[in-house]
Every structure is written in structure tokens, then in C-alpha cells.
Amino acid sequence: MVTRFYNGALCDKGVLKENTTLYVDETTGVILDGSKINVNNVDKHIDLQGNVLAPGFLDIQNNGVYGFNFAIMEGSERQFTDDYQKAMTRYMSTGVTGVCPTVISADKTTYQKVLPHLGATRLSSQCDSLGVHCEGPFISLNKKGCHNPKHLIEDATKVTLADVYGNDPKEIKVVTVAPEIPGIFDQIPLMCQKGWIVSVGHTTASYQQASCAVEKGATLITHLYNAMPAPHHRKAGVVGTITLAGDKGSPTPYFGMIADGIHIDKTMVAMAYRAAPGKCILVTDTMHLYGLPDGVYNWDGQVLRKKGAVVLVDGTETLAGSATDLPSCLRNLMEWADLSLAEAVACVTNHPANVLDLEKKKGYLDPGCDADLVVLNRSGYVQKVFKLGNPVTGSKASKL
């Protein structure tokens, strides 16, 4: 069945194309080459009513939503899977159609339990997993945030990757490491050989150490500015690597930012974006408290306090992830960096697809890509979501 989207603008690659038509094959769930379509053979016509059609949003750092935590299996495997599917189905209402389920520093037993349930998917019924983001445990004790210190590994010379994550887990897509950890420079190339994306984060690394991690194969920075030294005019630190282009031939790494107005000041968000606009990726870093009422919650031996989009380790000023959503971060970036809707949308679609090497499958409106789509109004508010060309029902999004 061929579906035609018309009477709106297509948003992709940083530009809006007004009055442009998109064709989708609902049977295969992919975007079609419009030049080869006879409009007389179209089965369904969807009027965008002047709105904007963009690729579905990709959230590459997300710890859980609606009370479900990707790293915690307290009951049966069946219950974990059921709760996971419910959370991933509900999350599509925010415009996100792909997530890297994020598992923070844990022990090997936890990885072995949860990773098999979180691997990459391609489904019309729920938000896809893009592969797991293991945020640790090769991270700094001094920049651990809410990570449990008993799980941290501060010397990579004493373990193998199999000792930490199990025997060659296929579900892993991203691993966050701290470059100053002894032995990590030997581990980064091994991670890259497995097809893992190596990200620098939760670190006290200097600019030189972070740059060396990039030379070894790291291509991403985990939540820029947060859980790393503040940049100084004589000590740029990890933040300085977003200007690496041309420095000894090293490529500029992509960088995630939590643009919720809590984790980073708006001026610093704008500064980072302008330094490397093609490498900026907006992330939520949501905790499982997203979507739950404000209050105090027990988690992994700690007490967390949620108020609005703010989640803190109770009694401290330590941020424990967030409770924000990606469209809110998108609109913040538009305002703070004075961007067009299309420029900001690239940071939640094209750029995350690029860093994950998924640009032929996700995050673009090119023929052959999955028809995971979001309809936005001109201010960046979600109006409707489509997964593999099928409308997502039961969401808060308005109907077209």
C-alpha cells in the first residue's frame, strides 16, 4: 500500500522543502523514490495541513521512562519484556521513534540479564531500540554522578571486555569511557573492532587525553559539559575536542547535549552548537522517573527527588539524569542558538543517525530509509507520529 503525504513541508538535512510530497510503502515500511511513483497508483493520501514532516526523533541516551528502568530486572524476564514494550510504545507519543536504551555502570550479571532484551529492533508497534548504550563502568569515580561507585572500573588493564560485559554481546552500540582510566587506550580500538561507538564521558580527562581517545577511535562525547571538568581558557578539557577539526587530522567528535535548561546554561548550549553545528546531538538522558509524579523515589541504593524536569540525588545538588523530553530540548535549542526548525531537527535525526552509522536506515527522509516519521507544527510541537508508515494511535498527539 502506497501512502502519499502532501500539503506541507519536508524537513531533512537542515532545510525545509515547502509543498513537497513524500511517498511511503506501508507494506515494507520504507520511504519510496517519489520520481518513480504514479500518483494514480497511490492508495492513501494524508494532508499535512501545512505542517512539517520530519524523520522520527532518535534519542541515543535514555535510561528509562514511565517508571521502567532499562538496567533493572527485579521480576521475571517476561515481566521485564512486557514492561519494556509498554514503555517503548508509549514513548513514541513524544516523537521519538528510536532509542539507545542506556544502562549505567553495572556488574556483569546485570549486563547478562538485561542486554539480551534490549537489542536493536525494527517494529511498527513500538519505539525501536537502536542498540544499547553502556554508560560505564570504565568511568571516573570523581565524575560518577549518580553511578554506583561499587560498579566502577578504574583500571582497564586488569579486565577484559568479556569480564565486564560478557562474551561478545551483540546488543551493545555505544560505550561511554573515561580516557584517563589506565589501559583504556588499549581497549578503545578493541571496542571499535566490535562495531561499538566509543564515547568520552564521566571523566576528569584533559584536552590531550580526550584528543588521544578520539585518535584511538572515539567518535562521541557523552552529555557535553556534564560530568567533566568545566572548560577553562587555558585548560579546555574534553569540551575543547569539539574544535578538533584539522588538529593533526583528527575528526571532530559528535557530542550529546541535554538542552533542558537545567543541565547546561543556554549560552553554553549555543556556544557548543556554533563551534560544530554538524556534530551536535540533543539527548534527554531521562531517568525512569520521566512521566511519573513529582516526589521521592528509591533507586539502586539511592534516594532520588523529582520535581518537574529536575531529578536530583536527594539531599545533594547532583543531577541524576533528567525528566525532560526531546521536543522540549529541540525548541530550547531553536531559541537559544537562534536556529530554524530544520536546523534544530537535524540534531535529533540526521546527526544521531550519522554517529550510529544508521544513516541508510534511520533519521533521514531518503528513499530506502524506514518510514519513521513525525509531524510537527512550525514551532516544533509534535502533531502526529508514524512508525514504518503506520500512524501511531493512543498518543497525545493531535490527529491530522
Instruction: Report d(CA 392, CA 400) in Å as an integer.
Output: 12
| Contact (Cβ atoms closer than 8 angstroms) between residue 217 and residue 191 | yes
**pTM reported for the whole predicted model:** 0.95
- What 3-state class would DSSP assign to 49? coil
- Residue 202 among known ligand-binding residues: yes
- Residue 320 among known ligand-binding residues: yes
pLDDT tens digits along 160-219: 999 999 988 999 999 999 999 999 999 999 999 999 999 999 999 999 999 999 999 999
- Residue 321 among known ligand-binding residues: yes
pLDDT tens digits along 86-119: 999 999 999 999 999 999 999 999 999 999 999 9
Which of 33-47, 170-184, 376-390 is least confident? Answer: 33-47
- What 3-state class would DSSP assign to 237? helix
How high is the pLDDT of residue 400? 62
Rounded to 10 deg, the angle between the 266-275 and 326-336 helix axes is 80
- What 3-state class would DSSP assign to 29? coil
- Residue 8 among known ligand-binding residues: no
pLDDT tens digits along 219-246: 999 999 999 999 989 999 999 999 876 4
- All domains in the chain, ordered by first residue: 2-54+365-391 (2.30.40.10), 56-355 (3.20.20.140)
Checking if the pLDDT of 250 tops 80, the result is: no
- Residue 135 among known ligand-binding residues: yes
- Residue 234 among known ligand-binding residues: yes
Cell digits for 59? Answer: 534519542
The DSSP letter of residue 206 is -
- Residue 377 among known ligand-binding residues: no
If you average pLDDT over residues 299-313, what whole number do you get?
86
- Residue 147 among known ligand-binding residues: no
Identify the active-site residue in 12, 128, 285, 370: 285
How high is the pLDDT of residue 249? 53
Reported as half-sphere exposure (CB side, CA atoms, 13 A), residue 181 has a value of 32
Instruction: Report d(CA 236, CA 66) in Å as an integer.
Output: 37
Residue 219: its H or E element: none
Does 285 participate in catalysis according to the annotation?
yes
Q: Are strands 64-65 and 68-69 parallel, antiparallel or unpaired?
A: antiparallel
- Residue 272 among known ligand-binding residues: no
Instruction: Report d(CA 86, CA 89) in Å as an integer.
Output: 5
